[in-house]
Amino acid sequence: MEKKRRITFYTDLNGPHKDQIREQVAMTPEERWRVFIKLRKMYFGLMGEPPKLPKRITLTRPPWM
């Protein structure tokens, strides 16, 4: 079971950034990756999947040649 986060009140705007850096330093790369994937799934659940772009490379001659 995940630990619930407490509501924190900060006195300056750097407080949340410093807390996030402190948390990430304590994590291993695998834990950070799992958290990233979890947040990404939550984001795509709210906003929807991004549209797939065509993956085509077009080579043309520049006009000056």
Residue type, 2: E
Instruction: Please give the share of the chain, as a percent, with pLDDT higher than 70.
Output: 98
Is 38 domain-assigned? yes
Q: In which domain, by residue range, is 23 found?
A: 15-47
Is 55 domain-assigned? no
Is 35 domain-assigned? yes
What whole-number distance in Å separates Cα of residue 13 and Cα of residue 6?
Answer: 18
Residue 13 has pLDDT above 80, yes or no: yes
pTM here is: 0.53
Total count of residues recorded for the chain:
65
pLDDT tens sequence across 36-63: 999 999 999 999 988 888 888 889 998 8
Taking residues 21-35, report their average pLDDT: 91
DSSP 20-40: HHHHHHHS-HHHHHHHHHHHH
Number of structural domains in the chain: 1
Return the DSSP state at 44: H
Is 25 domain-assigned? yes
Is 40 domain-assigned? yes
